[in-house]
Chains A and B, each alone.
Chain A
Amino acid sequence: MNTRHIIAIGLVVFCFWPGSVSGPSLASTKIETPSVEMLTATRDIKRIFATANPIDRVLWTECFLRVAQIVEADDIEPHVIENSLTCRAFNRATMIFLWKGIGANHADKYPGLAEAVEKSFREYAGDEVRVLTPEDRTKLAALYRAFAYAGTGKG
């Protein structure tokens, strides 16, 4: 993934972002309940967000819902997120643009959050540089949705 890709992804995410987060509420956000396996894998994230401020919870949830949509949309060859390294760059770009940039959050604002997300990712996607298969993309989208769900405090 080159800089152009990262900027493009950032723009896409930015364009998808709701123009106005009209109040820190997740009342109207519909997310399918993740599988028990996913709920277990993301329980630390849920615990951390249980005490998070409402704006961050909205930001987190909306962010990962969009990320899941983007990964699913990347189904035309050649893929933008073609392997685990580009997926890593995508994660990083998204978090920098949205969580840090738009949300104005600093690293370690929620101690343990990065480690919890990394742990979930490693459990589901391993830690090797490899080409992503269609099954991997489906799995990643489900994982991103589980992250979003964890931000709602439900379940």
Chain B
Amino acid sequence: MARFYGYEPDPDGTDLIVSGLPYPTIQEAGPRLQASTKEALLYPALLQCSPNWRRGAQGIGSCVGFGWSFCVDVLAAVQIAIHGEREEWAGRVLEASVYAFSRCEARGVKHAGYQDGSYGAAAAKAVSEWGTLHYGIDYGETRFEAYDPQREKTWGNTGVPDELEPYAKKRCVKTVTLVRNFDEAALAIQSGYPIAVCSGQGFVMTRDEGFCKPRGSWSHCMAFVGVRFDRPGLLCVNSWGDSNTGEHYPKNMPEAVKKCSFWVDADVATYMLRGGDSFALSSYDGFPPRKIPDWGFQGVL
């Protein structure tokens, strides 16, 4: 069962990292953000940038790497598709990079051991100070094409190889901000900022009118990428591949998202966020747009 989870809370570590954040709360990060009761869904931006996107399944207890990497993917897509930033979609974040940075470099340790797990604030420090690597990008002689749980296991002990760190540093999340309740989460999501949520709350796997009922305990990291107010809740994306069934909302939600997500009632979401180890992400140093050589007419006309 351990491979399904991987959230190892460290309240002291979290306090230390949060105290060093330039904008520890959403009010400080975005004082001009306006609260409203407008529904907001961030996954369409991701699918616009990456039409064939499918949620991966974590192979070890690396949920923190998966939850945070997914949030960076969503943030990058929102910046391109909604905020119209001049950036290029360059593929998914390599989960192992966030996971390993959060276990080793962000904590200042050389060897973190082979037991699985990490926590939210460590990942916050990882993506904001150490950055991210991506699938499908040439890093000198190295290129990552597919998910490999063994890589997570190895890097989870040693950290990201030194020669790759300069590449990762170019792709940092500039702002990570603590989110402590449903209202703050709603404000962040309405502004296009996904939330990596770390908590001990478990759920049933079958949705009822889109929502999954809380049940049991999961020491787990997931992502909130939608908010609704008809029945107040947050859309939660898991990292277990195709894992959820039952009716969903909205009806036209693409299958890829439908199978890995569920709505969480506002009071349950607040309970999860109150743990103080969940963060909204904003301002990603995305990939600058590449130039195309020509529009395809040279050498033919």
Chain A residues with CB under 8 Å of B36's CB are: none
Contact (Cβ within 8 A) A127 B291: yes
Count of chain B residues with Cβ under 8 Å from any Cβ of A?
22
Chain B residues with CB under 8 Å of A93's CB are: 296
The yes or no answer to A110 lying at the interface (CB within 8 A) is yes
Q: Which residue of B lies closest to A125 (CB)?
A: B295
Contact (Cβ within 8 A) B51 A88: no
One digit per residue, 1 when the CB lies within 8 angstroms of any chain A CB and 0 when it does not, for chain B 260-301 equals 000000000000000000000000000001111011111111
Chain B residues with CB under 8 Å of A129's CB are: 88, 289-292
- Knowing A77-B47, A79-B51, the reply to whether A107 touches B80 (Cβ < 8 A) is no
The yes or no answer to B89 lying at the interface (CB within 8 A) is yes
Chain B residues with CB under 8 Å of A118's CB are: 294-295, 297-298
The yes or no answer to A5 lying at the interface (CB within 8 A) is no
Contact (Cβ within 8 A) A131 B49: yes
The yes or no answer to B236 lying at the interface (CB within 8 A) is no
- Among A99, A108, A131, the residue within 8 A (CB) of B48 is A131
Q: How far is the CA of A135 from the CA of B51 in the complex (A)?
A: 18
Q: How far is the CA of A95 from the CA of B89 in the complex (A)?
A: 28
Contact (Cβ within 8 A) A88 B296: yes
Q: How far is the CA of A53 from the CA of B171 in the complex (A)?
A: 54
The yes or no answer to A114 lying at the interface (CB within 8 A) is yes
Chain B residues with CB under 8 Å of A90's CB are: 296
Centre residue among B89, B299, B301 by max chain A CB count within 10 A = B301
The yes or no answer to B54 lying at the interface (CB within 8 A) is no
Contact (Cβ within 8 A) A107 B300: yes
Q: How far is the CA of A87 from the CA of B86 in the complex (A)?
A: 18
A-binding residues in B (CB < 8 A): 47-49, 51-52, 80-81, 86, 88-89, 289-292, 294-301
19 contacts between A and B (CB under 8 A): A77-B48, A82-B51, A87-B295, A88-B296, A91-B297, A92-B296, A92-B297, A92-B300, A99-B300, A113-B301, A114-B298, A114-B301, A117-B295, A118-B297, A118-B298, A127-B291, A128-B289, A128-B292, A131-B48
B-binding residues in A (CB < 8 A): 77-79, 82, 84-85, 87-93, 95-96, 99-100, 107-110, 113-114, 117-118, 121-122, 125, 127-131
